[in-house]
Amino acid sequence: MKNNWIAIDWGTTNFRAFLLENNQVIDRLSEPCGLLSVKEAQFAVTLQRLLSPWLGALRAIACGRGQSR
C-alpha cells in the first residue's frame, strides 16, 4: 500500500471516505455518521472504527463543512 492514501469527507450528517492508489479510487465507504451524531466528542475513536478496513494506508486527507453554533 505504498502509494495508497485516504480522502475523507466528514460532514455534519454523513461520513464518506475513499481509498486511493496513485490517485485512483479503489474502494469507498459511506455511513450516516456525521459529526453531529458522534457522542461525547469521540471523533478519534469513531474515525478509527470507520477506517479500520484501511488502516494500513499511509496518508489521510480530511475535509468537511462544520456547523457554526
pLDDT at position 60: 65
Split into its structural domains, the chain has a count of: 1
Tell me the mean pLDDT in the region 4-19. Answer: 92
Structural domain includes residue 13: yes
Q: What is d(CA 41, CA 25) in angstroms, rounded to the nearest whole number?
A: 29
Structural domain includes residue 68: no
Categorize the per-residue pLDDT at 50 as very low, low, confident or very high, splitting at 50, 70 and 90.
Answer: very high
pLDDT at position 8: 93
Structural domain includes residue 10: yes
Structural domain includes residue 40: yes
pLDDT at position 55: 81
pLDDT in tens, 28-37: 999 999 999 9
